[in-house]
C-alpha cells in the first residue's frame, strides 16, 4: 500500500500562533498521493473534506485514484496539520478558496498541471463550486471534472442546526476506541461501516492532549462564524451559490445519500436541470455524507473521472 506525503503551503491570512517571518500568513497542510510512477504527472485531482473533517478522509479513494493522477488532499485551515487562524470569522469559503488557489499554484510550480479535477465532500464541494464557478480565477488549468459529494447551493436549515449542536464543543477521550465510538454516535448518517473502516476514519480526527487522552483535531473557533448564521443569511448565501453553480463549465457529478438531511432530493433535481446539469448517483442507506470508502461509492467517482471526454 502506498503512503501519502505530507506537504505545506503558505497562504495569506494570519495564523493563531504566528511564525517568524510569516506574521501575516498561515500554513496549510496537504497530503499528496502518487502511484503513477511519474512524480511530475500532469493530471491532478484535488479532494477536499467536510466541515469538521481532514484530508485523510480520502485515504481509500486516493489510493485508487493515485494510479492515474497526483491526488492532493488538503487539511483545510483550522483542521488536521494546518495552522489555526487568528481571526475565527475567516473560517469561511472565501478564505478557503483563496488558500486552494495558493495550493494549486505551488503544486503547479513543482510540476505543471494540465488536467485538473475536484472532489469535494460537503464544505469541500462548496469550495469546489467557488473555484469552478468563478471565471477568470488564476487556475493552472480549468476544472475539468467536478464531483460534489452530498452538497449543493441550497443547504437544508435543519441540517445546519444539527451540525451546530456539536460543532466546537470541548471533548476529551481516554482512548482512540472511545473517541471512535463517540464520533460514530454523531455520524451514523454516514452509512454502514465496519469497525476497522470507522477506526481508520477516526484516528486522523484526534490529537493527543498534554495531560493525556485525546481531543479533536480542529480549532473549536470554527463554530464562531457558524453560530452567527441565521436562516435569512443562509438564504442570502444560497443565492450566491446558485450563481456560482450556474457558471460552472466542468462536467459535474452529484453524489447524494438517499437519506441526506442536508441535500434534499428537490435540490439535487434542480442541479440536474440547470448550470452544468449534474449527473446524479444516489446511495441507499446513507445520509449526509457518503464517506467514499464503500466500493460502490469509490467506483462511482473513479468511473466518472476516467470517462472519455
Are 123 and 150 a contacting pair, CB within 8 Å? no
The pLDDT value recorded for residue 157 is 87
Cα gap 261→264, rounded to integer Å: 7
Cα gap 98→115, rounded to integer Å: 20
The pLDDT value recorded for residue 309 is 63
DSSP readout, the chain? Answer: ----EEEEEEEES-BSS--TT-TTEEEEEEEEE--SS-TT-SEEEEEE--TT--GGGGHHHHHHHTTTSEEEEEE-TTSTTSPPBS-GGG-SHHHHHHHHHHHHHHHHHHS--SEEEEEEETHHHHHHHHHHTSTT---SS-EEEEEEES--S---HHHHHHHHHHTT----BSSHHHHHHHHHHTTGGG----HHHHHHHHGGGEEE-TTSSEEESS-GGGHHHHHH--HHHHHHHHHHHHHHHHT--SEEEEEEETT-SSS-HHHHHHHHHSTT--EEEEETT--S---S-SHHHHHHHHHHHHS--
Q: Going from the first residue of the chain to its last (309 residues), give the mean pLDDT of each consecutive group of 10, the final group possibly shorter.
A: 94 94 96 97 98 97 97 98 98 97 98 98 98 96 98 92 86 94 91 94 95 94 92 92 98 97 96 98 96 98 88
The pLDDT value recorded for residue 308 is 67
Is pTM beyond 0.95? Reply is: yes
Cα gap 100→49, rounded to integer Å: 13
Amino acid at each position: 500500500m502506498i503512503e501519502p506525503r505530507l506537504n505545506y503551503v503558505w497562504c495569506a491570512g494570519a495564523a493563531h500562533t504566528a511564525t517568524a517571518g510569516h506574521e501575516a500568513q498561515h500554513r496549510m497542510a496537504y497530503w499528496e498521493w502518487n502511484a503513477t510512477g511519474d512524480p511530475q504527472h500532469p493530471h491532478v485531482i484535488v479532494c477536499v473534506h467536510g466541515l469538521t473533517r481532514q484530508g485523510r478522509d480520502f485515504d481509500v479513494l486516493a489510493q485508487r485514484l493515485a494510479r492515474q493522477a497526483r491526488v492532493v488532499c488538503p487539511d483545510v485551515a483550522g483542521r488536521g496539520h494546518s495552522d489555526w487562524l487568528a481571526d475565527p470569522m475567516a473560517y469561511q469559503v472565501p478564505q478557503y478558496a483563496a488558500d486552494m488557489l495558493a495550493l494549486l499554484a505551488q503544486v503547479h510550480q513543482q510540476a505543471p498541471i494540465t488536467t485538473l479535477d475536484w472532489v469535494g465532500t460537503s464544505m469541500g464541494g462548496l469550495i469546489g463550486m467557488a473555484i469552478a464557478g468563478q471565471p477568470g480565477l488564476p487556475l493552472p488549468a480549468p476544472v475539468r471534472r467536478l464531483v460534489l459529494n452530498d452538497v449543493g447551493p441550497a443547504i437544508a436549515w435543519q441540517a445546519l442546526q444539527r451540525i451546530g449542536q456539536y460543532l466546537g464543543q470541548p471533548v476529551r477521550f481516554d482512548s482512540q476506541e472511545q473517541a471512535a465510538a463517540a464520533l460514530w454516535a454523531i455520524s451514523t448518517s454516514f452509512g454502514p461501516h465496519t469497525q476497522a473502516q470507522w477506526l481508520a476514519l477516526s484516528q486522523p480526527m484526534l490529537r493527543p492532549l498534554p495531560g493525556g487522552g485525546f481531543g479533536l483535531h480542529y480549532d473549536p473557533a470554527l463554530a464562531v462564524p457558524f453560530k452567527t448564521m441565521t436562516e435569512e443569511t443562509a438564504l442570502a448565501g444560497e443565492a450566491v451559490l446558485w450563481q456560482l453553480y450556474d457558471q460552472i463549465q466542468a462536467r459535474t457529478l452529484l453524489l447524494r445519500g438517499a437519506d441526506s438531511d442536508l441535500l434534499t432530493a428537490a435540490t439535487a433535481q434542480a442541479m440536474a436541470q440547470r448550470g452544468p446539469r449534474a449527473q446524479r448517483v444516489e446511495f441507499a442507506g446513507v445520509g449526509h455524507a457518503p464517506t467514499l470508502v464503500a466500493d460502490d461509492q469509490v467506483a462511482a467517482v473513479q468511473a466518472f473521472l476516467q470517462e472519455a471526454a
